[in-house]
């Protein structure tokens, strides 16, 4: 994966309105990469990781995982099956982190990713 891939994902997130749609588009973009066969995002919900949006055909023997954190707290995982650079996965995980806030307590404040 290259800088253009990162720019494409950043552009998706900038243009997306709803968090669900943004994440679906991101995993689809990742799965479209030549060296990736599957991509998904798991949400941390009540202490358990639950798979959310995914795209492609899984091949768990080639799984790469990046922790998704928001304000220093783990909120999910980015999972990719294929060949990817760990630094790229970490970059994408940081970009999607505001969109992966299932069950996040906002204290009654309005929230916008």
> How does DSSP classify residue 106?
-
pLDDT in tens, 58-102: 999 999 999 999 999 999 999 999 999 999 999 999 999 999 986
Query: Which residue intervals of the chain are DSSP H helices?
Result: 3-15, 19-31, 86-96
Decide which of 3.50.50.60, 3.40.30.10, 3.30.450.40, 3.40.50.2000 is the CATH code for 3-99: 3.30.450.40
Please check whether residue 84 is in contact with residue 35, taking contact to mean a CB–CB distance below 8 angstroms.
yes
Higher pLDDT, 4 or 9: 9
In terms of pTM, does the model score above 0.75?
yes
* Structural domain boundaries in the chain: 3-99
d(CA 3, CA 9): 10
Q: What angle do CA 37, 23, 10 make, to 5 degrees?
A: 90
């Amino acid at each position: 994966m290259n800088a253009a891939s990162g720019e494409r994902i950043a552009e998706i997130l900038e243009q997306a309105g709803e968090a669900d749609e943004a994440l679906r588009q991101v995993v689809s973009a990742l799965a479209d990469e030549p060296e990736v066969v599957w991509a998904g995002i798991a949400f941390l919900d009540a202490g358990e990781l639950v798979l959310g949006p995914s795209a492609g055909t899984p091949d768990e023997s080639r799984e790469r995982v990046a922790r998704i954190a928001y304000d220093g707290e783990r909120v999910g995982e980015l999972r990719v099956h294929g060949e990817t650079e760990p630094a790229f996965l970490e970059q994408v995980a940081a970009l999607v982190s505001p969109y992966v806030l299932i069950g996040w307590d906002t204290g009654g404040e309005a929230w916008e990713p």
